[in-house]
Amino acid sequence: MTDGGPTVVALGVHVLDVLVRPVEAIPEGQGGQLVEQIRATAAGTAGGTALTLAKLGARTRSAGAIGRDPLGDLLVELLGHLRRRRCAARRDRRGRPPALRRA
């Protein structure tokens, strides 16, 4: 895609996904398992879409709510690594993720 093309705006959910591999079986109860790789990435209907389109070369913008907590900070940092992408995130000042706010 070229710089002169349209800009895609993704509005909605931004999630931090944690990807683990390989997983041969889900541990029972509170058990654990050693794995070779753990990665975190931006996901959600807006975050994942904008991230994928940006990786493909599209000019993207995204907007949504992201918590003002360590996981929210990591998500904003991951989104900021793409040069051609901007994220307009509303961050809760009390440090709670958006899903935990009172209505």
47-55 vs 70-80: helix axis angle to the nearest 10?
Answer: 30
Rounded to an integer, what distance in angstroms lies between the CA atom of residue 101 and that of residue 103?
Answer: 6
Rounded CA separation 92/101 (Å): 8
| pLDDT tens per residue, range 12-40 | 888 999 999 998 888 888 888 899 999 99
pTM of the model as a whole? 0.67
Q: How would residue 53 be classed by pLDDT, with cut points 50, 70 and 90?
A: confident
Place of tokens 């959910």: 13
- Residue 40 burial (C-beta neighbours within 10 Å; 0-12, 13-18, 19+): middle
Residues 44-69 as b or e (16 or more Cβ within 10 Å = b):
bebbbbbbebbeeebbbbbbbbbbbb
- All structural domains of the chain with their residue ranges: 7-15+43-100
